């Protein structure tokens, strides 16, 4: 059956997904409204800010682990800080969000404890091992 503009409509899915589209939009808007309403309470806002601050803290610890790894390898090769290559220091920062995401999914629902801080540093220190299995698409 053609649409109001006269163009043919795409075929419906087996589960009638075009029929449920308005309900899904309404459901998404309702969920967004409820989330923002709940965030408007002072305790929810405070918890959100604590979680956000903890996430940024873990990101900083992880980047510190990445830089520690670089300097560890630099000193192991017998070079000094003056011989550090700034371009090689930037590479861990470029991939830091890709390394941070699995860590955040692991600790975001858990209690904030020392393990999360250690895990953040380890993920940063061993970032090359975490990304070693990634290969380009053929």
Sign of CA dihedral 58, 62, 63, 68: positive
pLDDT for 59: 92
- Whole-angstrom distance, CA of residue 34 vs CA of residue 32: 5
pLDDT for 56: 92
Q: 124 and 86 in one domain?
A: yes
The domain in which residue 72 lies consists of: 42-130
In angstroms, what CA-CA distances link 79 with 73, 74, 75, 83? 9, 6, 5, 6
Q: 30 and 62 in one domain?
A: no
Domain end: 24, 40, 56, which one?
A: 40
Query: Tens-of-pLDDT digits for all 138 residues of the chain?
Result: 555 555 555 555 545 555 677 788 888 888 777 776 777 778 877 887 888 889 899 999 999 998 898 888 888 888 888 888 888 788 888 888 888 888 888 887 778 888 889 988 998 888 877 666 666 666
List the Cα angle 66/71/76 in 5-degree steps. 130
pLDDT for 31: 78
- Spatial contact of 100 and 62, defined as CB atoms under 8 Å apart: yes
Q: 100 and 32 in one domain?
A: no
Report how far Cα 44 is from the mean position of its chain's Cα atoms: 21
Q: 69 and 5 in one domain?
A: no
Does 138 reside within a domain?
no
Q: 29 and 47 in one domain?
A: no
Does 50 reside within a domain?
yes
- The whole model's pTM is what? 0.64
Does 4 reside within a domain?
yes
Residues near 82 by beta carbon (within 8 Å), at least 6 away in sequence: none
Q: 75 and 33 in one domain?
A: no
Domain count across the chain:
2
Q: 89 and 25 in one domain?
A: no
Q: 83 and 71 in one domain?
A: yes
pLDDT for 123: 87
Does 137 reside within a domain?
no
């Amino acid at each position: 059956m053609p649409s109001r503009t006269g163009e043919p409509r795409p075929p419906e899915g087996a589960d009638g997904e075009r029929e449920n589209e308005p309900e899904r939009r309404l459901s998404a808007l309702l969920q967004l409204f409820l989330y923002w309403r709940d965030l408007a309470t002072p305790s929810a806002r405070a918890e959100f800010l604590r979680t956000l601050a903890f996430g940024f803290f873990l990101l900083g610890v992880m980047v510190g682990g990445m830089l520690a790894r670089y300097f560890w390898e630099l000193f192991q090769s017998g070079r000094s800080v003056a011989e550090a290559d700034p371009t090689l220091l930037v590479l861990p920062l470029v991939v830091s969000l890709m390394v941070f995401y699995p860590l955040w999914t692991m600790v975001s629902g858990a209690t904030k404890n020392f393990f999360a801080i250690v895990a953040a540093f380890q993920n940063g220190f061993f970032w090359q091992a975490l990304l070693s299995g990634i290969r380009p698409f053929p």
